Amino acid sequence: MTPDPSRAPGIGGPIDPGALRADCARCAGLCCVVPAFSRSSDFAIDKPAGRPCPNLQRDCRCGIHSELEERGFHGCTVFDCLGAGQKIVQTVFAGRDWHDDPDAAAQMFAVFPVMRRLHELLWHVAEALALDLPTALRADLDLAATRIDALTRQTPEAIADVRPDDEFQAVNPLLQRASEHARSGARGADRRGAQLMGARLRGADLRGSSLRGARLVGADLRGADLRLADLTGADLRGADLRGADLSTALFLCQSQLDAARGDTSTHIPAGRVPPARWTRPAVAVRVDPPRRRRR
Ligand code: SF4
Ligand code: SF4
- Residue ranges around ligand 2 (CB below 6 Å): 32, 53, 55-56, 62, 64, 73, 76, 294
Ligand 1 center from residue 201 Cα (angstroms): 35
Nearest to 28 by CA among 121, 117, 104: 104
Q: Which atom of ligand 2 is nearest to the CA of 47?
A: 7
For residue range 82-126, what is the model confidence (pLDDT) as tens digits?
999 999 999 999 999 898 888 899 999 999 999 999 999 999 999
Ligand 1 center from residue 227 Cα (angstroms): 31
Of 37, 40, 55, 60, best ligand 2 pocket probe by most atoms within 8 Å of the beta carbon: 55
Say if ligand 1 is within 6 A of residue 22 CB: yes
d(CA 16, CA 23): 14
DSSP 54: T
| Res 292 pLDDT > 60 | no
Amino acid at 143: L
Ligand 1 center from residue 32 Cα (angstroms): 8
Ligand 1 center from residue 250 Cα (angstroms): 25
In percent, how much of the chain has pLDDT > 90? 81
d(CA 186, CA 163): 35
In percent, how much of the chain has pLDDT > 70? 90
**Residues 224 and 244: beta-carbon distance below 8 Å:** yes
Helical segments of the chain, H only:
84-86, 102-129, 135-151, 156-161, 164-183, 254-259
Q: How many CB atoms lie within 10 A of CB 67?
A: 11
Ligand 2 center from residue 232 Cα (angstroms): 27
For residue range 242-290, what is the model confidence (pLDDT) as tens digits?
999 999 999 999 999 999 999 999 999 998 999 988 986 554 444 444 4
Average of per-residue pLDDT values in the chain: 90
For residue range 133-142, what is the model confidence (pLDDT) as tens digits?
999 999 999 9
Nearest to 201 by CA among 259, 280, 275, 209: 209
Angle value at C-alpha 167, between 11 and 188, nearest 5 degrees: 90
Say if ligand 1 is within 6 A of residue 29 CB: yes
Ligand 2 center from residue 77 Cα (angstroms): 9
DSSP 91: I
Instruction: Give burial (CB, 10 Å; 0-12/13-18/19+) of 39.
Output: exposed
Say if ligand 1 is within 6 A of residue 164 CB: no
**Residues 234 and 217: beta-carbon distance below 8 Å:** no
Query: What phi and psi values does residue 135 have, to the nearest 5 degrees?
Result: -60, -45
Ligand 1 center from residue 87 Cα (angstroms): 10
Ligand 2 center from residue 62 Cα (angstroms): 5
Which residue puts its alpha carbon closest to atom 6 of ligand 2? 32
* Stated pTM of the model: 0.87
Ligand index nearest the alpha carbon of residue 22: 1
Of 34, 58, 76, best ligand 2 pocket probe by most atoms within 8 Å of the beta carbon: 76
For residue range 17-51, what is the model confidence (pLDDT) as tens digits?
789 999 999 999 999 999 999 999 899 999 999 99
Would the CA dihedral through 90, 50, 55, 260 be positive or negative? negative
Say if ligand 1 is within 6 A of residue 174 CB: no
